[in-house]
Structure 1
Amino acid sequence: MAPPARGGYSSNVNLVLLFASALACLFVAGRLWWYSREVVLLERDVEILQAKLQGSDAASALAGGKLDCGDLGPGLSGLHFNVRQNAAPVVPPGLVGPMVEDEAIDTVTDDGEGREAPLLGQLDGVRDGYVYGWACQRAKVSTALKVVLYINDVQVGMVHADKPAPHSIVNRICTGPVSVEMHLQPARNVAFRFKMPRLPDGLYQLRAFAYHPDGRWRKELYMSPLSFYESDARPDLAEAIRRKDDIIRARNAQVASLYEELNTRGAWESVTSEPRVRTFAPKQGQDSVPRLLVFIGVNSDPGDKHHRNFLRATWMKNETALSEMGVAAKFIVGKSDWLPEKEVTELADEMAEHGDMVTVDIKGYEDAAKKILAFYRSVALTTDADYYFKVEKDVVVNIGNLVDYLTPTRDRGNLFMGCMKSGEVVTDPKRAWYEPQHYRFGDPIGSDKKLSYPRHAHTQVFGLSRNVAKYLGQNADVMHGYAHDDVTVGAWLLGLDVEFKDEGRLCCGECRGDDKSRACISFFQTGCSGVCSPETKVMKIFETCAKSRG
């Protein structure tokens, strides 16, 4: 979050936060270094094995450090090996067929025709007499994706990609975020396998082109052209190569995923082609479900079960009473491929036991602002409510007071509610709360030469009315984030016709048991995710100041 305006932090807290931030940066940098190092080592192993298959002296030279990684001499750098265990005893004929330049239709780049999303796909490699690859195809297209293959620019055959790609990373690349057009399905991942013709031993170049369903254009897949060496030698080494290549291919797919994520062109095209903010359309069979007054999403990490239990024992305890007041309260838990299997299993068991959790896909390590967007995309576009509140863990909410506060304005569609603040934009990387993108907030002026953030709400509790929440959900792919999630939300709304409602009762810090405390809507303490020392304070505050009717 940004530097607080209400209350301050001690120097000790700042040092602890700065140390924690440094550790987090070191962790991410270390992980990136490890994966990069892993790929380099794997590629080096593959090159050594490939050289052994050739019986080349380059293998011993490489292993002994006499050659740079990737330098295996003529015809050996970066090759895939097609090793066949049962090669034909006779030499097969040469390649005969149409040439790659004989195709009459246009070959396009990533831009397609400029009117539709680019076709994403990749050659995985050549092994055991087969070509493998995958692509992403829009679910609304009924025909299988056509892929034509060429060896040394001579057409050798055609195959249809009509089977699910086997790797989960490929599925993530294709499905991506949920489409803002609710009636459209995201792209599905399709894979192909093509049986290679018999070839004499030697070096070859493979190319693969995927065709538009209407045959209007074709696009060359990533990793094409791909060099491979045809051989029937030593299947034990071939198996080693296959295993190494499988891991490298997975890493290549991750890189492709990052490339697509960073390339926001497609995301902008998807949102700019949409109509203006739409009213909620209930799903089939849900016409009789009344609109909620408020949906409360409690931000929670997968391993925070003990914190969730604090709230389950207090203000989230009586689900029936909440429902009668038009309130739904769920924990919003981020899921990703980085979760250990044990943690995934425990999370699934907890979800089945309590039924009060919503998972959002955050694709590995993500910042808090992107999780907020995932919340609005997952909930505001599928659950009809007048308000959507984001609440941090260990925040104590007085549901009765919240209902009384929201009911008189439930027909408003453009409210941003919270404890509003501003604060200094920290431009010094050595200080806590540093903002790497400080230049976006203008130039320092005045005697103190400081910048100020635009007005925004404390991150512990804030709420948006339905149209504002749906706007964020529909345009999540192009929302830009900053270092602190509270600042980021304020920046998203700064340019919109939104009313900022500063409500002090949403950020009460102490429960004194008097009438003023009992009028509070929510309790948290600056510097903590909710109230500090939740093990002892959550229940006490709830019983004394936040126990709602019902």
Structure 2
Amino acid sequence: MAPSCRILDKTIVNLETELSAARTRQESFLTGSPASEEPRSSEFVGRRKYFMVIGINTAFSSRKRRDSIRRTWMPQGEKRRKLEEEKGIIIRFVIGHSAISGGIVDRAIEAEERKHGDFMRLDHVEGYLELSGKTKTYIATAVSLWDADFYVKVDDDVHVNIATLGKILSKHVSKPRVYIGCMKSGPVLSDKDVRYYEPEHWKFGDAGNKYFRHATGQLYAISKDLATYISINRHVLHKYINEDVSLGSWFIGLDVEHIDDRRLCCGTPPDCEWKAQAGNTCAASFDWKCSGICNSVENIWEVHNRCGESEKSLWISSF
């Protein structure tokens, strides 16, 4: 066979291979089944089953916030390992890498990880305007690492009562597609000079319109099926500038049950303290005006002291 014919044959074979792969990806998208590089349901067979994965969204500059959480509501060392083994609860700080991978801030996180072992590193470039992309990557990464009933995202300036959160989620464990949080519907802001400006405001109709109902971004939980859906379709899910809006938009058109539970967005003392005294312990507490606990490094201990559940409650709870 002439060399030119062999080259042509090889080209045809390569094109046929690429066409076959493209068809597979298209069928995967149309049917909702994962492509070969995505997590398959069969891959969960034989894996340890967990109750929930809690990803704490954090930044390079937030070392003091992380330490304040370690000193309050996040179990450390052997207790954290016991939490994973006995309760099926995974807790990790979630962070990507800097624009210059391997730089000073990345090395600082690596040193912190060697000391505490409580990070989930993402293939994602950190940046405030990239939170929607970070959320997609976090969920996809968590699904690939742990087979859990629920995947939770919480900010690193929020106080969490883990047992109370677990009790709330356990009531919905039999439901396949649930989206749990404090649901809201704020105005779509078209003024470039205001906080939470929405560059794509025109998509939401005329001026003065509100967003569709979605969970506030300080803490929310989604069931395994929804997390898997995001993982499979993450390359085609649109990102709005506001992360909580993005997440809510990904579920529009899906058969999803929205659960509005106000115990996931209590205020700091005296609000959460009064509720705890009344027997209605909060799962999450923060200050709305600060979108988290104001000066959380200094104030989270007071929230924990006045509104935190007893350590015993976590170990005696069944989820």
Superposition TM-score tier, normalisation by shorter sequence: 0.7 to 0.9
Mapping of residues 228-247 of structure 1, within 5 Å: none
**Cα distance in 2, alignment partners of residues 427 and 100 from structure 1:** 60
Cα 1:269/1:428, change in 2 over 3 Å:
farther
Cα distance change, pair 484–320 in 1 and its aligned pair in 2 (3 A): same
1:520 equivalenced with 2:278 (yes/no): no
2:88 is aligned to: 326
Could you list the per-position Cα deviations for residues 285-335 of structure 1 after superposition, in whole angstroms to 9, with x for gaps in the alignment?
xx373x222110000113322111111111112415533333211111112
Residue 383 (str. 1) matches residue 130 (str. 2): no
Match of 1:115 among 19, 23, 41: 19
Over 3 Å counting, the alpha-carbon distance change for 1:453 and 1:115 in structure 2 is same
Please name the residue that 1:371 is paired with.
Answer: 134
Provide the residue aligned with 1:308 in structure 2.
66
Of 175, 194, 198, the match for 1:412 = 175
State the secondary structure of the residue aligned to 2:269: coil
Residues 172-210 of structure 1: CA distance to partner in whole angstroms, max 9, x if unpaired?
Answer: xxxxxxxxxxxxxxxxxxxxxxxxxxxxxxxxxxxxxxx
Residue equivalent to 2:260: 502
Give 2:186's aligned amino acid.
G
Of 291, 294, 298, which residue of structure 2 is paired with 1:532? Answer: 294
1:274–1:468 distance in 2 versus 1, CA, 3 Å: closer
Q: After alignment, is 339-348 or 405-414 more displaced?
A: 339-348
Give 1:516 shift: 4.2
The Cα shift of 1:454 comes to: 0.7
Cα 1:282–1:106, aligned 2, differ >3 Å: closer, same or farther? Answer: closer
Runs of at least 5 residues in structure 1 that lack an aligned partner in the other structure: 1-97, 119-264
Kept after mapping to 1: 8 A contact 2:268/2:293? no
- Name the CA distance, whole Å, in 1 between partners of 2:202 and 2:27: 27
Q: Deviations over 1:377-431 (max 9, x none)?
A: 1012330111111001121101121122122321222110001001211223344
2:222 corresponds in structure 1 to: 464
- CA deviation digits over 1:256-310, x for unaligned, max 9? xxxxxxxxx9976764476279547347xxx373x22211000011332211111
Distance 1:278 1:266 in 2: 14
Runs (5+) with no aligned partner, structure 2:
none
The structure that is strand-richer by fraction is: 1
Structure 1 SS opposite 2:55: strand
CA distance in 1 between partners of 2:299 and 2:165 (Å): 20
Rounded Cα–Cα distance in structure 2 between residues aligned with 1:280 and 1:521: 34
2:255 & 2:283 partners in 1: Cα distance?
26
**Paired residues of 2:152 and 2:221 also in contact (CA < 8 A):** yes
Alpha-carbon offset, residue 371 of structure 1: 0.4
Per the alignment, residue 359 of structure 1 pairs with 121
C-alpha distance 464-349 of structure 1, shift in aligned 2 (>3 A): same
Identity %: 29
Inter-CA distance 342–541: structure 2 relative to 1 (3 Å threshold): same
Alpha-carbon distance in 1 for matches of 2:6, 2:41:
51
Query: Is the contact made by 1:401 and 1:519 (CA closer than 8 Å) also made in structure 2?
Result: yes
Listed as ranges, the matches of 1:277-316 within 5 Å are 279=41, 281-282=43-44, 287=46, 289=48, 291-316=49-74
Deviations 1:102-158 (A, max 9, x none): 9544868x987772458xxxxxxxxxxxxxxxxxxxxxxxxxxxxxxxxxxxxxxxx
Structure with the greater relative contact order (CA < 8 A, sep ≥ 6): 1 or 2?
Answer: 2
Query: CA separation in 2, counterparts of 1:429 and 1:536?
Result: 33
Letter in 1 for 2:104: K
SS of 1:511 mapped into structure 2: coil
- Deviations, residues 436-458 of structure 1 (Å, cap 9, x unaligned): 222322x32xxxx4222111011
Q: Distance in 2 between matches of 1:364 and 1:293?
A: 28
SS at structure 1 position matched to 2:19: coil
Q: Secondary structure at the match of 1:377?
A: helix
Determine if the alignment matches structure 1 residue 344 to structure 2 residue 106: yes
Task: Tell me the equivalent position of 1:493.
Answer: 251
After superposition, residues 264-279 of structure 1 pair within 5 angstroms as 271-272=29-30, 275=33, 279=41
CA contact (8 A) 1:479 1:492 kept: yes
Higher Rg:
1
Q: Which amino acid aligns with 1:326?
A: G
Distance 1:430 1:305 in 2: 30
Q: Which amino acid aligns with 1:461?
A: L
| Residue 439 (1) aligns with residue 197 (2) | no
The CA distance in 2 between the partners of 1:266 and 1:516, in whole Å, is 56
Structure 1 contact 111–117 (Cα < 8 Å) conserved: no
AA aligned opposite 2:222: L
Q: How does 1:384-403 map to 2 (within 5 A)?
A: 384-403=147-166
CA distance in 2, matches of 1:436, 1:288: 42
- Structure 2 residue identity aligned to 1:385: A
Indicate conservation of the 8 Å contact 2:47/2:147, yes or no.
no
1:99: how far off?
A: 9.4
> Cα distance, 1:483 vs. partner?
1.3
Q: Which position in structure 1 is the counterpart of 2:184?
A: 421
Contact 1:296 1:328 (8 Å CA) reproduced: yes
Is 2:234 the counterpart of 1:476? yes
Mapped to 1, the partners of 2:252 and 2:31 lie a distance apart of 23
| In structure 1, distance between residues paired with 2:53 and 2:126 | 26
The residue that corresponds to 1:190 in the other structure is none
User: Partner letter of residue 543 of structure 1?
Assistant: N
Alignment CA distance shift 1:519-1:346 (3 Å): same
Q: How many residues align?
A: 297
CA distance in 2, matches of 1:280, 1:102: 40
How far is 1:433 from its partner?
2.3
Corresponding residue for residue 12 of structure 1: none
Secondary structure, aligned partner of 1:348: helix
One-letter amino acid matched to 1:115: L
CA RMSD in angstroms comes to 3.1
Contact 1:267 1:478 in 2 (8 A): no
